[in-house]
């Protein structure tokens, strides 16, 4: 495990570089300066993840954007503690409905991935894509769409030329006591979504920057898991979720949700999976900032051409704290009961374990941080027929100067087999790591450039694994990406 330690040291160095006070920057006071008419919009910080998108600023006119440090009114996040969404710190008031098209180009230079290759082998993959962000806002409803998609051209023979798509869709309704939300997240990617686009503008769909929409982010429990790099080839992934919440009183509320997702691989050698998830929860506001709750979640995992089926029941106690504009915290823990259609090799047909989770978003004037942790049963990422998964990922973004932004992102996931019929095909455990850092800045009012570095590491443990997916590897990646969009077309 010497390689993860090297990148852990690099990650700590990057954190210190981003967070430590810079004497040269401390003398700048951009927040006290009125932005000039030519001042470019502030882009999303380098390396930001979808969960951090809620800190981006919305347009306040045809193409005018609120200055980064200006005092703006935030609408508090009212999503239920026991619901499907990652809690946020609030969102800016929206004054216009609009849509923005754009173009995106990225070049990723990567190593072969072998730990000790006889001859170093590097390849390059280029992405050329169109982007679109659409916001339609009514008094009691909001529609948001972020999309990126296009062609990929690679000198890597195992990948070749292909295409990619990412789409996030959200429709919400708010009445006096009721909340109703529909969310769909779709992707077609040439590789695992875990760490895809880190330290580049490809990390989230849409035009990005100040005009990019901050759509609700689904918690990991409600998305097909892809945290094993060993799964090979392009894959489709989709998650469709509906949630309704009702306020019983000034302090109490209930929520109900239903989700269906699938993970499909183009190339053979992986497990295609489907999941149906149902949840219900009760929330009680202890104070204006603190909430407690209890939730129940049922997950049903099915696999193509495999007799195994997994039915998972989770009951968790929840605690949440929200400070608008600064902090959003969610903690979850409770028992997990898992049943198997096909008995495990040990003969067991069920298992009792612990399920836990945590989400954190924290914002300072120049620095923002987000992190997510999840422990419990997942679908297996296309390599395992169900797995015990421990996954954590997060990012730190910092505004270095008026135009330069820096960010670091990282993630770790450990997947171990549940002991099903696939134990002879793959190793019982996979450790997957990624860590990246990037810089970005705007180029005028409608363009931005981003440069970054990311490392991916996979360690395979256990015995009886002879398949090609059971290979340790380290892959390094250098990226350069450019993003351009038109000025927003105001709908009303």
Q: Residues 388-402: pLDDT tens digits?
A: 999 999 999 999 999
How far CA 463 is from CA of 35, 343, 420, 424, in Å, comes to 61, 21, 15, 9
The two tokens of residue 6 are 């090297």
**Cα dihedral 43, 181, 298, 82 in deg (nearest 10):** 70
- Residues of the chain by 3-state class (helix, strand, coil), percent to 5: 10, 50, 40
Which residues lie closer than 8 Å to 484 by C-beta, 6 or more apart?
102, 103, 104, 446, 447
Query: What distance in Å separates the CA atoms of residue 273 and residue 236, rounded to the nearest whole number?
Result: 11
Position 156 scores a pLDDT of 84
Position 193 scores a pLDDT of 93
User: What is the CATH architecture of 2-490?
Assistant: Beta Barrel (2.40)
Q: Is the pLDDT of residue 177 over 80?
A: yes
* Number of other residues whose CB lies within 10 A of the CB of residue 173: 14
Query: What distance in Å separates the CA atoms of residue 308 and residue 269, rounded to the nearest whole number?
Result: 17
Tens of pLDDT, residues 81-97: 999 999 999 988 887 89
**E strand or H helix that includes residue 372:** strand 367-378
Query: What distance in Å separates the CA atoms of residue 464 and residue 199, rounded to the nearest whole number?
Result: 36
Q: In this structure, are strands 98-111 and 122-137 parallel, antiparallel, or unpaired?
A: antiparallel
Which residues lie closer than 8 Å to 107 by C-beta, 6 or more apart?
124, 125, 126, 127, 479, 480, 481
Position 1 scores a pLDDT of 41
Q: Which residues pair with 416 in a beta bridge?
A: 388, 429
Position 18 scores a pLDDT of 39
Q: Is the pLDDT of residue 74 over 90?
A: no
Percent of the chain past pLDDT 90, that is, above it, reads 67
Position 59 scores a pLDDT of 35
Position 103 scores a pLDDT of 97
Tens of pLDDT, residues 149-160: 999 999 987 778
Tens of pLDDT, residues 460-489: 876 555 555 667 888 999 999 999 999 999
The two tokens of residue 115 are 């730990």
Please say whether the beta carbons of 317 and 332 come within 8 A: yes
Please say whether the beta carbons of 141 and 182 come within 8 A: no
User: Considering just the CA atoms, what is the radius of gyration of the chain in Å?
Assistant: 22
∠ CA 59-64-67, rounded to 5°: 85
Query: What distance in Å separates the CA atoms of residue 69 and residue 51, rounded to the nearest whole number?
Result: 21
Query: What distance in Å separates the CA atoms of residue 29 and residue 402, rounded to the nearest whole number?
Result: 9
The domain segmentation of the chain, as residue ranges, is 2-490
Burial of 328 (C-beta count, 10 Å sphere; 0-12/13-18/19+): buried
Tens of pLDDT, residues 397-430: 999 999 999 999 999 999 998 865 444 444 578 9
Torsion angles phi and psi, residue 450, rounded to 5 = -140, 140
Is 126 in a helix, a strand, or coil? Answer: strand
Position 425 scores a pLDDT of 45
Please say whether the beta carbons of 444 and 466 come within 8 A: no
> Most distant CA pair in the chain: distance in Å?
71
The two tokens of residue 300 are 């049903």
**E strand or H helix that includes residue 9:** helix 2-19
Q: Is the pLDDT of residue 440 over 60?
A: yes
Tens of pLDDT, residues 212-246: 888 888 999 999 999 998 888 899 999 999 999 99
Query: What distance in Å separates the CA atoms of residue 194 and residue 381, rounded to the nearest whole number?
Result: 10
Position 412 scores a pLDDT of 98
Please say whether the beta carbons of 397 and 14 come within 8 A: no
Position 469 scores a pLDDT of 62
């Amino acid at each position: 495990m010497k390689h993860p330690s090297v990148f852990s040291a690099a990650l700590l160095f990057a954190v210190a570089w981003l967070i430590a006070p810079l004497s040269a920057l401390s003398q700048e006071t951009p927040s006290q300066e009125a932005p000039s008419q030519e001042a470019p919009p502030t882009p999303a910080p380098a390396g930001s993840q979808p969960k951090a998108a809620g800190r981006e600023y919305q347009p306040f006119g045809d193409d005018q954007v609120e200055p980064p440090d200006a005092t703006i009114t935030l609408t508090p996040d009212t999503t239920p503690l026991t619901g499907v969404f990652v809690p946020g710190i609030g969102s800016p008031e929206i004054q216009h409905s609009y849509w923005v098209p754009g173009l995106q180009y990225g070049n990723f230079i990567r190593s072969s991935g072998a730990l000790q290759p006889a001859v170093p082998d590097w390849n390059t993959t280029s992405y050329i894509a169109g982007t679109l962000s659409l916001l339609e806002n009514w008094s009691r409803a909001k529609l948001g769409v972020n999309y990126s998609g296009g062609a990929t051209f690679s000198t890597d023979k195992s990948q070749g030329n292909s295409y990619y798509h990412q789409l996030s869709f959200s429709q919400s309704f708010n009445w006096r006591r009721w909340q109703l939300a529909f969310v769909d997240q779709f992707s077609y990617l040439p590789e695992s979504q875990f760490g895809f686009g880190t330290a580049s503008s490809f990390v989230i769909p849409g035009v990005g920057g100040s005009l990019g929409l901050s759509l609700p982010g689904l918690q990991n429990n409600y998305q097909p898991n892809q945290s094993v790099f060993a799964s090979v080839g392009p894959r489709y992934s989709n998650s469709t979720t509906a949630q309704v919440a009702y306020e019983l009183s000034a302090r109490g509320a209930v929520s109900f949700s239903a989700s269906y997702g699938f993970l499909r691989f183009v190339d053979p050698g992986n497990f295609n999976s489907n999941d149906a998830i149902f949840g219900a929860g009760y929330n009680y506001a202890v104070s204006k900032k603190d909430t407690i709750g209890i939730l129940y979640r049922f997950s049903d995992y099915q696999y193509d051409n495999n007799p195994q089926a997994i039915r998972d029941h989770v009951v968790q106690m929840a605690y949440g704290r929200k400070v608008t504009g600064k902090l959003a915290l969610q903690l979850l823990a409770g028992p997990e009961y898992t049943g198997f259609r096909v008995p495990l090799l040990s003969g067991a047909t069920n298992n009792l374990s612990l399920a836990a989770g945590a989400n954190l978003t924290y914002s300072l004037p120049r620095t923002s941080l987000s992190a997510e942790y999840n422990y419990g049963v997942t679908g297996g990422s296309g390599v395992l027929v169900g797995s015990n998964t421990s996954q954590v990922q997060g990012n730190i973004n910092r505004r270095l100067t008026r135009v330069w932004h820096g960010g670091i992102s990282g993630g770790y996931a450990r997947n171990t087999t549940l002991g099903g019929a696939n134990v002879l095909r793959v190793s019982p455990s996979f450790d997957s790591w990624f860590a990246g850092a990037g810089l970005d800045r705007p180029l005028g009012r409608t363009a931005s450039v981003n440069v970054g570095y990311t490392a991916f590491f996979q360690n395979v443990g256990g015995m009886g694994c002879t398949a090609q997916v059971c290979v340790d590897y380290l892959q390094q990646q250098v990226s350069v990406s450019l993003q351009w969009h038109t000025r927003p077309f105001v709908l009303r």
